[in-house]
Amino acid sequence: MKTKYYKKLSNLNFIKSKTLNKNIGIKYFKWIVKNTFFKFFNQKITLENKNVDLIKIRNEMTLSEISHLIGFVFVTIFAIYKVFNVSIVFGLTIMIPNILLNLYPSLLQQENKRRIDIIINRKIKTVANDVYS
């Protein structure tokens, strides 16, 4: 968080298209996270009521997203190494859970951050209109 790259990393968008997110199954992954034991993993990212600090929630999402991306990169490097030293099947066996447990959560965080950004911008415009009215 204290590096100069954090600002760039906090606004990553690998997939901007809602259609592509739908086609790769982010909607189903979101359902799984909301309705299974995964919902207990990061309790800091919950919207319990309408009076929550969205910027704080967004920062927690960014931290979670970056952590998952770092995990994805390291496991991918390990899987590629194992493809060449063991077998391609072993590498794929590592990559499938890596995609499900690191890449998809990161993509879900990006989608949720985009939705929160819309709400934050709406609130800022409303406050600005109230001040200038």
Rounded to whole angstroms, the Cα distance separating 119 from 128 reads: 14
Residue spans per domain, the chain: 54-133
The predicted model scores a pTM of 0.78
pLDDT of residue 93: 95
Count of CB atoms within 10 A of residue 107's CB? Answer: 24
Rounded to whole angstroms, the Cα distance separating 21 from 95 reads: 20
> Tens digit of pLDDT for each residue in 71-128?
999 999 999 999 999 999 999 999 999 999 999 999 998 888 888 888 888 888 877 7
pLDDT of residue 52: 76
